[in-house]
Amino acid sequence: MIIPNSKFLISRRKQLELTQRDVAWRVSELGLKLNDNHYSRIERGLDDYVNIKLETAFGIARALEADITECFEVKFENDVKEFSLSPEQKRKLKAGSKQTVKAGLGQYLKEYRNSKGIPARVVADAIEVHPSYIFQVEKGNASFEVMQKVAKHYGFSLEDINPSVSAPSK
């Protein structure tokens, strides 16, 4: 809900020496529909005018040459403290899942390659894949077999990185 800060709206309008009609006219000049009667009701914070359109709120703030946060307060009727995970997020974050392990291995391989200054093309040529595939490996979007080949090229195995990976599996 967008709730008017009545005290601020009134004091700012008076400070600028504007009438309610002047404010409504300025808002309408911005291409928004607002007459002085509606503005009067918004300014007074009447119950039927507490949830106004966002564009109208911006128009009023602009007409009063003020920041929208000074003129209005936003309140969520159904405020949620914490969102629950979607089924897709739960699947991806499942502890010990194959994709999570692959992502961790890929990240390690990427960090190792970058720390040694090895170009992706050199690794790709060594294990006979396209250079762009090395980046997929480093994102965890490759088979364990290919990841093992990259690790072997670097002089270690996937087991050295993560003991839970006992052998390349599909």
Domain ranges, ordered by start, for the chain: 2-74, 87-161
Per-residue pLDDT tens over the stretch 22-67: 999 999 999 998 888 889 889 888 766 666 888 999 999 999 999 9
The reply to whether 2-74 and 87-161 are identical in fold is yes
Q: Which of 62, 66, 67 lies closest to 29, judged by CA?
A: 62
Which residues is 116 bridged to in the sheet?
A: none
pLDDT of residue 20: 93
d(CA 147, CA 142): 7
Q: What is the dotted CATH code of the domain comprising 2-74?
A: 1.10.260.40
User: In this structure, are strands 72-74 and 2-4 parallel, antiparallel, or unpaired?
Assistant: antiparallel
Name the CATH superfamily for 87-161: lambda repressor-like DNA-binding domains (1.10.260.40)
Q: Within 13 A of 116's CA, how many CA atoms are on the CB side?
A: 13
**What's the predicted TM-score (pTM) here?**
0.46
Q: Which residues partner with 2 through β-bridges?
A: 74
Among 154, 161, 158, 160, smallest CA distance to 169 is for: 158
